[in-house]
Amino acid sequence: MGGRLLAVLLCLATVGLVVIGTLWPVPAAAAYAGGGAFTSSSSTPEEAVTSFANDLSHLAWQKAYSSLSNRGEFTEQDFVRDITGTYPSLRSYATLDNFQVRPLHASDNEAQVELRLRWSTVVGTFLDTRTLRVINSGDHWAPVWPIVKEPRVPPQVIPVTYLRWDVIYRGPEDDWGAQDVDAPHVRIVDMHPVERAAGVVVLGELLNEDVVPAYVSVKATLLGKNGSMIASGDSFDKISHLLLPKQVTPFLITFPNVSLSQVDSIHMDPTSNLVAASADPVIEIQNQKLSPAPDSYFTGSLVNQSGQNVSIAHVLGTFYDKSGQLVWVADQYTDRALLPQTPVAFSIPVPEDLARTISTERAVVATYSAGGFQ
Amino acid sequence: MNVTRSFLIGVAISASSLPALAQSRKLDVPKSVVAGSAFSIETEGGGQGVLYVVGPSQVLKRDVQLGQPVAIAAGDLDNAGHYLAVLNSGSSTETGEFDVVPANQPATLSFLAKPSRLPVGLQNGITGAVYVFDAFQNLITAPTPVSFQLSIPSESVQSRTVESHLGAAWTEMNSGAKDGNARFVARAGDVSATRVIEQVPGDPCGLKMNAKKAGGQIDLETDPLRDCSGNAVTDGTIVTFTESWNGGQTTVDVPLKHGVAQAEVPAYNGARISVATGVVMGNEIRWTNQ
């Protein structure tokens, strides 16, 4: 009898909660259900910016644009270009993962709010931080969007005479003894493992010592004291895969949940394939600096010295101690396209404990252009 | 086709291995026959019979008139190996064994030359291996002289003659001092095979750059890059310029174009500028704004 009563009570309670949740949902649930923003109120500066950010996450460009106080200063198209990029880039394919709103200061008529937009892409996330003025318009607050207009390159013809390598391989009908083109010779010029909180990290540098371009990858296998394999992994995107003749790339391979004390030896397996490639574009890395610990960042700016737009640039930083020993490799993808002769900044975080030991650093850039692997 | 062949092989083997059922005698066959050549097999007695010739990947069947020779035409037996001949004539079976040997005249060469590309001045860096075949793709196992010749433009020709062992001959050669395409030729009898070995420049020797002011920039340019043998380093080779100043740094990886690398970097007073390619370091310049 008691059990039946309890069952009935539980059913009634469940139905009641469902009805309450449907009629008066919490804003977050409504937003995740696609039914609207966390808040659409603009009665405070934070609410106005939160509402604006929600519109961005729903790709409601028109709504977001119309909520801006300074929309007369730029068109909706300019606004969308600022968010998604004028030229194909990482931004073009990004979705807003989450955002944070942090009030900086406020008065009766005006406030300043920091908006941290974390965008999600196939190669990880990137952060876009904007400081917004928010203006009291009487009955509501409206943000002022600090528009960043991407420079436009004027139409022109830029002659480029860099080399391009094409490859003709042996055909399937050729005799087995017929000659083929050999894979490029590559060599690991530096390698050593380090122990980090996450596990063992194998760092190193790979040189293309041939006269042809190489598509490279590095695989490492950790062996235990009895010769058994502990783990195997490859550099994935922590490497510049395309190496032109005499070019050097760093690489980093992470083995989570492995302790260095378990490792007796490491078997390294660099692979290379001969690929068609172009020596263009050339990217200059200007103003490289390592800010001191704590909160250490490796910063600089990339300048595309060629005539071709670069959709995505991948910056790999290599860090050495005073004795020239490699101590860390870190990377970052740029979220904006590299236009000819137009600097684009990068900022790569460096672990604080390692930053104190770093004496010199070096950066290399791998580039990808819309329409194909370069 | 394969089913028929299997059937015939089975019949032939069965016929030769059942001496109890039939009187088995030795068939008069030649001891060895050159692949692809014509020959005949003598038979005795009278009446009709069937001749089976079974060998590696080849089977022949002939209806024969006993007492007359059976002619095997040129090209009928072209796979080298050990063959079994079985003559079945009702109550009696005659068997004989013979070898089909490769022709002594090389007709094709399989020439493996490695590598396809190597730096100049490498001792025994080039290997060539040759497999000698007759006109029917039989490996000629008899010792055959094979000559190797590596000719490099404007250099003396390297030659070796090696006698093949069980059908294979191999040698090693040095790469020359000049870059360019070397012709690697293997020859046996009247046939030859040619491979091209690309000899490429070695690491740069004496990497040196010069700097001059160009507006607010420094124009950096290397001297024409050459290896230690004087060969021009291949265009496209990456040269890295690094400018360091007061805690800041600018780097640029530039491919060689027409033998030189050129880049522009910002002009900072007191900056140190270095140049490198691969693991080869060049000179260093300390920049002073005039």
Flag whether pLDDT at A12 surpasses 80: yes
- A4 falls within a domain: no
Residues A220 and A136 both lie in one domain: no
Q: A118, A115, A133: which is closest to A73 by C-alpha? A: A133
Flag whether pLDDT at A328 surpasses 90: yes
Phi, psi at residue B135, to the nearest 5°? Answer: -70, -20
Flag whether pLDDT at A70 surpasses 90: yes
Structure confidence at residue B1 (pLDDT):
44
Residues A234 and A331 both lie in one domain: no
- A178 falls within a domain: yes
Read off the pLDDT of each residue in B22-50 and give the average, rounded to a whole number.
85
Flag whether pLDDT at A22 surpasses 80: no
Q: Taking CA atoms, what residue in B is nearest to A246? A: B278
Residues A188 and A290 both lie in one domain: no
Q: Can you give the CATH number for the domain in which A270 is found?
A: 2.60.40
Flag whether pLDDT at B7 surpasses 60: no
Going by pLDDT thresholds of 50, 70 and 90, the confidence category of residue A155 is confident
Work out how many domains chain A is built from and give that number. Answer: 3
Mean pLDDT of the residues in chain B:
89
Q: A272, A298, A295: which is closest to A287 by C-alpha? A: A298
- A271 falls within a domain: yes
Going by pLDDT thresholds of 50, 70 and 90, the confidence category of residue B21 is very low
Structure confidence at residue B82 (pLDDT):
95
Distance CA B192, CA A215 (A): 35
Read off the pLDDT of each residue in B189-215 and give the average, rounded to a whole number.
93
* CB interface of A with B, residues 89-108, below 8 Å: none
Flag whether pLDDT at B10 surpasses 80: no
Query: Which residue in the set A163, A248, A361 is minimally distant from B255, CB to CB?
Result: A163
Q: Can you give the CATH number for the domain in which A137 is found?
A: 3.10.450.100
The DSSP bridge partners found for residue A347 are A299
Pick the more confident residue, B17 or B52: B52
> In chain B, what percentage of residues exceed pLDDT 70?
91
Going by pLDDT thresholds of 50, 70 and 90, the confidence category of residue A170 is confident
Flag whether pLDDT at B58 surpasses 90: no
Question: CB–CB of A164/A275 below 8 Å?
Answer: no
Structure confidence at residue B247 (pLDDT):
80
B217 touches chain A (CB under 8 A): no
Residues A127 and A220 both lie in one domain: no
Going by pLDDT thresholds of 50, 70 and 90, the confidence category of residue B96 is very high
> In chain A, what percentage of residues exceed pLDDT 70?
93
Domain limits at A73?
24-144
- A140 falls within a domain: yes
Q: Which CATH architecture has domain B108-200?
A: Sandwich (2.60)
Flag whether pLDDT at B154 surpasses 90: no
Structure confidence at residue A371 (pLDDT):
64
Q: What is the DSSP string of B1-17?
A: -HHHHHHHHHHHHHHHT
Distance of CA A95 to the CA centre of its chain: 12
Residue A66 distance to chain B (closest CA, Å)? 43
Read off the pLDDT of each residue in B70-90 and give the average, rounded to a whole number.
92
Mean pLDDT of the residues in chain A:
89
Residues A244 and A313 both lie in one domain: no
- A151 falls within a domain: no
Residues A61 and A105 both lie in one domain: yes
Flag whether pLDDT at A37 surpasses 70: no
Residues A272 and A296 both lie in one domain: no
Query: Where are the CATH 2.60.40.10 domain residues in chain B?
Result: 2-101, 108-200, 204-286
Residues A296 and A262 both lie in one domain: no
Read off the pLDDT of each residue in B79-85 and give the average, rounded to a whole number.
94
Pick the more confident residue, A172 or A277: A277
Structure confidence at residue B18 (pLDDT):
45
Residues A358 and A289 both lie in one domain: yes
Residues A111 and A205 both lie in one domain: no
Structure confidence at residue B20 (pLDDT):
41
Distance CA B266, CA A373 (A): 30
Residues A131 and A202 both lie in one domain: no
Flag whether pLDDT at B197 surpasses 80: yes
Going by pLDDT thresholds of 50, 70 and 90, the confidence category of residue B16 is very low
Q: Contacts of residue B201 in chain A, CB cutoff 8 Å?
A: 211
Read off the pLDDT of each residue in B66-91 and give the average, rounded to a whole number.
91
Read off the pLDDT of each residue in B104-124 and give the average, rounded to a whole number.
93
ipTM of the complex: 0.76
Residue B229, CA distances (Å) to A210, A370, B122 in order: 17, 42, 12
Structure confidence at residue A162 (pLDDT):
77
Residue A308 distance to chain B (closest CA, Å)? 16
Structure confidence at residue B57 (pLDDT):
83
Q: Contacts of residue A162 in chain B, CB cutoff 8 Å?
A: 236, 255, 257
- pLDDT digit string (tens) for A190-241? 999 999 998 999 999 999 999 999 999 999 999 998 999 999 999 999 999 9
- pLDDT digit string (tens) for A290-299? 998 888 999 9
Q: Can you give the CATH number for the domain in which A315 is found?
A: 2.60.40.10
Flag whether pLDDT at A183 surpasses 80: yes
- A154 falls within a domain: no
B110 touches chain A (CB under 8 A): yes
Residues A117 and A223 both lie in one domain: no
On the 0-12 / 13-18 / 19+ scale of CB atoms within 10 A, A149 is exposed
Structure confidence at residue A374 (pLDDT):
42
Give the 3-state DSSP-derived string for B66-107, with helices as H, strands as E and coil as C: CCCCEEECCCCCCCCEEEEEEEEECCEEEEEEEEEECCCCCC
- A17 falls within a domain: no
Q: Do B237 and A211 touch (CB under 8 A)?
A: yes
Q: Do A182 and B248 touch (CB under 8 A)?
A: no
Structure confidence at residue A180 (pLDDT):
82
Structure confidence at residue B9 (pLDDT):
53
- Among A224, A245, A277, the domain-final residue is A277
Flag whether pLDDT at A24 surpasses 80: no
Class of domain B204-286: mainly beta
Distance of CA A292 to the CA centre of its chain: 23
Query: Which residue in the set B116, B237, B253 is minimally distant from A364, CB to CB?
Result: B253
Flag whether pLDDT at B19 surpasses 50: no
- A173 falls within a domain: yes
Structure confidence at residue A28 (pLDDT):
55
pTM (2 d.p.):
0.78
- Among A260, A277, A294, the domain-final residue is A277
- Among A222, A248, A277, the domain-final residue is A277
Mutate to test the interface with B, among A169, A246, A287 (most CBs of B within 10 A): A246
CATH 2.60.40.10 fits B2-101, yes or no: yes
